[in-house]
Each structure stands twice: as C-alpha cells, then as structure tokens.
Structure 1
Amino acid sequence: MTHSTETGEPSSVDLPALRTWNQEARVRAAELRVQIETRRQQHRELTDRGGRSAAAASATELAELRARAETAERRADNLERALASNRRIGMAVGILLERLHVPEEQAFELLRQESMRRNIRLAQVAETVVYTGTL
C-alpha cells in the first residue's frame, strides 16, 4: 500500500504490473536506441553523398527518436524509484506491525500521519523507520 500524491489517500500498488511496466519501458528505450543508431548511420551516409535535404529530414527524425528514448528512460527510472519506495514503505509497515502490534492498515496510517506531521515524503518516513525501528 502506498500514499497517493494527488489525493493524500492510501492506495495500493500492483507490484507485478509495476515490474512489467518497468521492463517494458527499458525494452522500449533499448529499441529506440537501436533506431537512433540506425538513423545516425543513415544520416552519415546521406551527408557523405551530399544529400542535404534528405540529411536534414533524417536529423529531425533522429532528434525525435532521441527525445522518445529519453522519455522512455525517464519513465523506467521513475518506475524503478516507485518500486524501491514501495518496498521500503512495505518494510516500514512490517516493522511497525511487529513493534507496535497493530494491524497493517493502522501501521500504514501511522506512517502517513507522521509524513503529514513532519511535512516530508512518506518514503522518507519509511526510510527512518527501516533504519531506526521507530517513527
């Protein structure tokens, strides 16, 4: 279970889906890198032959592919960070369950309340709990 940044309400995360999206984003980024390299080679060949207008079109396409690859990389990085945060939050909930003998929902609510009280991200509160064992 995680904390929704938009509504402030608890929400669950589908970890298998998050892993799948992360893998798909990485595969797509790799595919785009291959396309970029192919376009670069085509650009070099066109430029070497003096095909200026075709080379300009190829350069535009190359820039678009580069932007798409960067977007895919950012998305994959964001998904990895979200997955890591979710794991840490789960660990913190588990620690609070064991230490305070409270139900899972209450342990998460304690994390959420502490996050709001200290005005810091829930993941930061979870890190503190993981390292110190307390809120």
Structure 2
Amino acid sequence: MEPAPGLERLAELVDRFAGGDVEITLRREGEPDGVSPVVGLAVYRIVQEALTNVVKHSGARHAAVSVVRRDGRLTVEVVDDGPSATPPASGGFGPAGMRERAAAAGGRIDYGPLPGGGYRVRAELPARGDNGGERP
C-alpha cells in the first residue's frame, strides 16, 4: 500500500494538471521538514480540489500554487486568472471538504472571487498539525 500523498508530491500533482489549457506554476518557500503527515495530506488534497476547479470550471488561462512555511505555519494559495465567478463544486471534495480538511489539521481556509477577476483559495495551517506543538 502506498503512503498518503503530502508536500513531497505537490510538484507531481501540479504536473498532472498542467499541460492542458491552463498554465500552472508552483512556488515553495521555507523548509518542508517536520510537517506532520496530517497537514501534508490536507495541503495536497486542498491543492488537488482547487486545481480541479480551476481546470474544469474557471475558464482561467493561468493558475499559481504557492506553499510558504514561515513561523511554524504553512500558507497555501491557489490563484487563477479566470472570470470573477464562483466555480461550482466539482462533485468531489468541494469547498466544504476543503474547509473540513483545513479544520482537521488545525487550520482555516477561505476562498472566493477576486475583485479584478480570478479566484483564490487560501489555507493557513500549523506546520505540525493541531497537536504538533509548533506555534506561530
């Protein structure tokens, strides 16, 4: 049985979505060492659902994924340049599922259209999970 995906497989995930009609970039800042498996899986699944929505529903030409670790926290963003509209749930995990993932890892998430167009999903998570002891 293969271990659950996490931060180490984000580039592979982004590559699977790239190459179609949407150009996707990935930016990482900070060391991923010591990130709890729960948080790593939450980040992976949040990015997976956000990119699914970008590709299937947004009409975007570009999307950017960023994962920044700073002061014991991970900030994850997926931003696209599609028309300013709320994408429908993909029938999969959806916005409610992303919120549940973030909460289960001790974090929070917000998402919505951007004023000048596009859409953003942004999650903030403790790098070591709810019980990990690393505090901002």
Please say whether Structure 1 and Structure 2 have the same fold, judged by a TM-score greater than 0.5. no
TM-score bracket, shorter-length normalisation: under 0.3
- TM-score with structure 2 length normalisation? 0.27
Max Rg structure: 1
- TM-score with structure 1 length normalisation? 0.27
Instruction: Indicate the structure with greater strand content.
Output: 2
